[in-house]
């Protein structure tokens, strides 16, 4: 006969056993949850530490002006880039000898392999000049001529011996759709590449620079052959990273030229460019890469056979073009300046010659003196691509840099008559001010 006391004892013990098991599972679950939370916290802290600068930069990405497709206008954004964006590492590894190498560096160091970045081809025009105000302020003015695109006013302050800077970036150049706003986290992370692709800008030492197509190359080259130097003793740099080099490290024009001489230039986007640099002393220079053995536009078809030629605003070629007592103003559009009469067959063969002559006529009439930033902007407006010589083009933005006061007057898409379209910036206050127009210049 079954022992009923034993059975009763087992039945009585069952709730207690179940209670112990329940407590054990609760304990195990808490331990597991704590471990998971700990791992997540560690990952979160690690992510925040590794990406802290990038997170801050992305959070600062802000729209300043809406697009207006009816006038071929993209949107205007701004971003304050925190940290050094690995540019020292880029230079330390030897720079880049192609857009592909630059993209690989950006992908590995900035977007950390999560997002691919592309650098598109471009066909840009552009005009620039230097001038002086009656009070002695040095002016560098610049039009960026291209097509409808989104742009970003990019502010950097890398510290550690590098200059603070303001620059304008064409976001189409890093793959942003020209017909859409830059929306979504992935697109904004891609825009972290912006410091590597400035098209013009100024640093806090009063050094300014810009890039301009030079259309070098003869028959069978589609009108442009990129410079592609290959001196084994030099490191390598691309077009826009060369501008970044100047903005970050140059105190004046002479330093900018010496920095650039240390590198092989590899023009970006399968296109040939020349460049202009100016500083707060009034010195400026046009940097061009020309055939080492001479040559003409028709024969300049080997980008590896070019060498740097610098034309300063003090060079003799300007003696017959300016009055002897005039400010030594300089100007540039889209044809080779140095030795231009032998490089081209005639003036009609010089891209942008009409704009070049118009700017020259305006500066010559005043000996290079402009009343103020607004007067310099007026000259830029006269060669804007929507209206100049019958129109049909697009000037994406116009910028007037006061290299003495370290200020910027900036307007997008030839909206010269729209007071609400202007933006001003001052290095002294580190504030960008939309509206009222010309607030710091009145």
Could you read off the pLDDT of 386-439 as tens digits, one per residue? Answer: 999 888 889 999 999 999 999 999 999 999 999 899 999 999 999 998 865 444
CA dist 301 and 2 (Å) reads 107
- β-bridge partners, 105: none
Contact call for residues 208 and 81 (beta carbons, < 8 A): no
Q: Where is 145: in which H helix or E strand?
A: strand 138-145
Taking residues 153-170, report their average pLDDT: 97
pLDDT digits (tens, 9 = 90+) for 144-161: 999 999 999 999 999 999
Contact call for residues 276 and 286 (beta carbons, < 8 A): yes
CA gyration radius for the chain?
29
Is the pLDDT at 10 greater than 50? The verdict is no
Phi, psi of 62 (to 5 degrees): -135, 140
pLDDT digits (tens, 9 = 90+) for 188-206: 999 999 999 999 999 999 9
Bridge-based pairing of strands 235-238 and 263-266 is parallel
CA dist 22 and 120 (Å) reads 62
pLDDT digits (tens, 9 = 90+) for 355-383: 999 999 999 999 999 999 999 999 999 99
- Residue 280: which residues within 8 A CB-CB, separation 6 or more? 138, 205, 206, 207, 252, 403, 404
Q: Where are the beta strands (DSSP E) in 54-206?
A: 62-65, 76-81, 127-132, 138-145, 151-156, 165-170, 200-203
Q: Is the pLDDT higher at 230 or at 392?
A: 230
**Token pair recorded at residue 25:** 């599972």
Picking from 82-91, 219-228, 288-297, which range would have the lowest pLDDT averaged per residue?
219-228
Average pLDDT for the chain: 89
């Amino acid at each position: 006969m079954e022992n009923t006391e034993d059975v009763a004892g087992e039945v009585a013990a069952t709730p207690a056993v179940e209670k112990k098991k329940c407590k054990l599972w609760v304990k195990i679950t808490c331990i597991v949850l704590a471990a998971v939370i700990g791992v997540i916290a560690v990952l979160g802290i690690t992510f925040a530490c590794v990406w802290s600068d990038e997170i801050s930069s992305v959070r600062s990405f802000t729209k300043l002006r809406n697009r207006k497709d009816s006038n071929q206008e993209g949107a205007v954004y701004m971003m304050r880039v925190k940290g050094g964006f690995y540019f020292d590492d880029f230079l330390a590894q030897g720079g880049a000898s192609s857009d592909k190498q630059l993209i690989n560096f950006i992908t590995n160091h900035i977007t950390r392999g999560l997002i691919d970045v592309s650098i598109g081809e471009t066909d840009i025009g552009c005009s620039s000049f230097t001038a002086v105000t009656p009070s002695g302020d040095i002016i560098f003015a610049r039009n960026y001529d291209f097509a409808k695109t989104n742009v970003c006013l990019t502010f950097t302050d890398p510290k550690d011996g590098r200059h603070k800077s303001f620059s304008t970036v064409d976001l189409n150049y890093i793959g942003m759709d020209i017909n859409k706003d830059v929306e979504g986290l992935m697109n904004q992370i891609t825009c972290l590449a912006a410091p590597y692709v400035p098209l013009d800008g100024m640093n806090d030492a009063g050094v300014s620079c810009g890039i301009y197509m030079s259309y070098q190359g003869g028959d069978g080259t589609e009108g442009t052959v990129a410079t592609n130097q290959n001196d084994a003793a030099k490191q390598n740099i691309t077009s826009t990273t060369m501008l970044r080099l100047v903005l970050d490290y140059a105190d004046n024009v002479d330093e900018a030229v010496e920095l650039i001489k240390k590198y092989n230039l590899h023009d970006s986007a399968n296109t040939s460019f020349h460049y202009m640099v100016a500083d707060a002393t009034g010195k400026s220079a046009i940097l061009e890469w020309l055939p080492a053995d001479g040559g003409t536009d028709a024969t300049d078809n080997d980008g590896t056979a070019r060498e740097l030629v610098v034309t300063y605003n003090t060079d003799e070629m300007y003696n017959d073009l300016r009055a002897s007592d005039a400010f030594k103003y300089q100007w540039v559009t889209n044809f080779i300046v140095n030795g231009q009469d032998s490089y081209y067959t005639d003036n009609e063969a010089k891209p942008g010659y009409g704009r070049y002559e118009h700017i020259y006529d305006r500066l010559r009439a005043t000996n290079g003196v402009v009343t103020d930033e607004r007067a310099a902007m007026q000259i830029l407006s006269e060669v804007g691509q929507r209206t100049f010589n019958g129109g049909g083009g697009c000037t994406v933005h116009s910028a007037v840099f006061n290299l003495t006061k370290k200020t910027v007057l900036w307007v997008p898409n030839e909206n010269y008559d729209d007071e609400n379209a202007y933006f001003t910036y001052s290095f002294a206050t580190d504030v960008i001010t939309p509206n009222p127009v010309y607030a710091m210049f009145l």
